[in-house]
Amino acid sequence: MPNLTDPKLISGNANKPLAEAIARRMSMHRGMNVGLVDARVERFNDGEIFVEMFDNVRGEDVFIIQPTSNPANDNLMELLIMADALRRSSAQRITAVIPYFGYARQDRRTKARTPITAKLVANMLVEAGIERILTMDLHAAQIQGFFDIPVDNLYASPIFALDILSNFKDQLSDVMVVSPDVGGVARARELAKRINAPLSIVDKRREKPGEVAEMTIIGNVEGKTCIIVDDICDTAGTLCKAAEVLLENGAKEVHSYITHGVLSGPAVERVTNSVMKSLVITDTIEATDPVKNAPNIRIVPTAPMFAQATLNIWNGTSVSSLFETETLGPIYEGLYSV
């Protein structure tokens, strides 16, 4: 009989600190050591990716931890090649833990003769032998339907709620949650409900892609501590502009909670020089040195949630239970008072 006593974790190069943190948390939860599979993920001189595993994975339940963040194509190829290597090594089940699912913004055809790349990536992952996906805050929830395999989509809002209740406990009566656009209202409403706060919306009009011509605030933000919530912050232009408009409309101060800190190009400089008091992101994408050194950017960990979700998948128990504060609170009790 194959040895199924432990889940096996393997990491690519996209976010090794997160993979190691997940392994440590799983070790704490189980009371025994859970380490990463001994493997090498390297490149030939021409850029081709090569994967070799030194541990036996035959008959094992294996979890590949690999966000497909920048460089998206390299990290995606690493994930596909690791999955192929595991399949050919007779792993019993392969689960891809993709904290940040790249290409998620290409989930539909916005104009003629354009691709739906999120669906293409879904097909590639399934074809490589992946049998289950674990991710966080998909940019578009319908991407789950692009897969014919189970997809568990975790949410950062329960973690954000714990953080807000801990850091804004003396001014909760003045807190207002703000959606930076109409499309993010459901996400903002979910967080507002968790912390029992009112909701406001920034309605933006674009003249052309990437350029915001006008912003209008829906709701009264005067005297409020505004918390903007969104799933992705890329160049931070719209986010910083929204913070300015909120202050112009009477907000007392502005903070932002963003799940995936892509923060490309001038983003870190914009955030540092912006009127925002703080930007809180998760560690789904490995932080660069400028992000770590930015005075008003703070990172909250997702490893406790991913570790518990991985264990729940492995032992066949509920993943959705992690959406509840009663379940998630004890997991984060070392960080936040519950």
A 10 A CB-CB count for 330 gives: 12
Cβ atoms of 183 and 231 within 8 Å: the answer is no
What's the CA gap between 251 and 247, in Å, rounded? 5
Report which of 139, 78, 86 is spatially closest to residue 108, judged by C-alpha positions.
139
Residue 74 CB-density burial (10 A; 0-12 exposed, 13-18 middle, 19+ buried):
middle
What's the CA gap between 121 and 55, in Å, rounded? 28
What's the CA gap between 302 and 206, in Å, rounded? 33
Report which of 195, 202, 237 is spatially closest to residue 221, judged by C-alpha positions.
202
Mention every residue, 6+ apart, whose C-beta is less than 8 A from residue 242: 178, 180, 202, 204, 215, 228
Cβ atoms of 58 and 311 within 8 Å: the answer is no
- Looking at residue 209, the DSSP 8-state letter turns out to be T
Structure tokens at 282: 């998760």
Residue 204 appears among annotated catalytic residues? yes
Strand partners, 215: 204
Question: Which of 204, 241, 252, 277 is the catalytic position?
Answer: 204
Q: Which residue has the tokens 């699912």?
A: 101
Cβ atoms of 310 and 144 within 8 Å: the answer is no
Helices (H), ranges, 9-90? 16-30, 72-88
Structure tokens at 311: 């264990």
Structure tokens at 23: 């392994």
Q: Report the catalytic residues.
A: 204
